[in-house]
Amino acid sequence: MNFFDTHAHFSRLGGEYSLESQISRAEEMGVTRIVAVGGSCELNKAAVDAATAYPGMIRVALGFDRDEAEALGKPSDLCDALDRLRLAVSQLPKRGVQVAAIGEIGLDYFYSAETAEQQVALFRAQLELANELRLPVVIHSRDADVDTLEALKDHAQTWSGDPERIGVLHCFTRDAAFAADLVDLGYHISFSGIVTFLNADPLREVARTIPADRLLIETDSPYLAPAPMRGKRNEPGFVSHVATRLAAVRDTDVAELTEQTFENASRLFGW
């Protein structure tokens, strides 16, 4: 089985958590493709470093997440940030690094409701950039369903790229109605280790409702290690546990789910 971890964050830790150690364990588990996801200067750089070291296995998503909204609140700073992304997307392939998406971007009113206005501005500016660059988006949304949906509706209406490559709502934790709205707009839905958690029955019910061709799996490592690895630092090799649980929830076998999610992710990211 070939697993595709569609969402992992890397850092510069050494030893047992070094990039090399994590990747060698991931390879042992059958993970062959990973999207290394940015979201800040530091995360973007770590993602690029990972893809530079493992270009056949790792591609990057670059962007500025909700935590950068305040710092990029001035129009001139936002403009600079978008220019840096444009430059990275045009230059990185010459260094052998493939840019799979813009991300992660989006809204989080659970942790930082006070910057909602700046978050929406940053989110929408990057959706426009994704449209300009014809790149899919990797979206984060927490306690912000209404504003997220509104922005993603507008994005779907103006999207000039391949309709099957518009984007993914990552680490999905919301209800079935929200998922259905996103699927109707053309987005994919990605499940993380949360789907294995003891108290996640409602989310497992949602996972049953997603059309097979829109489903993705991810670790969101180093956070949210899936059962039975809870308490450990999460890493891409653990994506198999997400696949196993999702397959059980959807009454399908794990090989089939793994193949389907691999195909879906490859199509979405143009890989």
* Positions that interact with Zn ion (CB under 5 A): 220
Question: Considering beta carbons, is residue 197 or 248 the nearer one to Zn ion?
Answer: 197
Q: How far apart are CA 45 and CA 43, in angstroms?
A: 5
Instruction: Return the number of other C-beta atoms located less than 10 Å from residue 61's C-beta.
Output: 28
CB of 109 to Zn ion, least distance (A): 17
Pairing of strands 99-108, 215-217: unpaired
Question: Considering beta carbons, is residue 106 or 250 the nearer one to Zn ion?
Answer: 106
Residue number closest to Zn ion, CB atom: 220
Question: Considering beta carbons, is residue 234 or 250 the nearer one to Zn ion?
Answer: 234
CB of 3 to Zn ion, least distance (A): 18
Using CA atoms of 186, 190, 196, 201 in order, give the dihedral in degrees to the nearest 10. -20
CB of 221 to Zn ion, least distance (A): 9
CB of 43 to Zn ion, least distance (A): 9
- The verdict on whether omega for the bond into residue 228 sits within 30 degrees of 0, i.e. cis, is yes
Question: Using CB atoms within 10 A of its CB, is residue 110 exposed (0-12), middle (13-18) or buried (19+)?
Answer: exposed
4 forms beta bridges with: 33
CB within 8 A of 265, min separation 6: which ones?
4, 6, 33, 35, 216, 271
Question: Considering beta carbons, is residue 39 or 237 the nearer one to Zn ion?
Answer: 39
99 forms beta bridges with: 60
CB of 224 to Zn ion, least distance (A): 9
CB of 239 to Zn ion, least distance (A): 14
DSSP string, 113-131: GGGHHHHHHHHHHHHHHHH
Question: Considering beta carbons, is residue 167 or 250 the nearer one to Zn ion?
Answer: 167
Q: How far apart are CA 88 and CA 38, in angstroms?
A: 12
Question: Considering beta carbons, is residue 68 or 220 the nearer one to Zn ion?
Answer: 220
CB of 158 to Zn ion, least distance (A): 25
Smallest CA-to-CA distance from 82 within 105, 98, 59 is with: 105
Question: Considering beta carbons, is residue 5 or 220 the nearer one to Zn ion?
Answer: 220
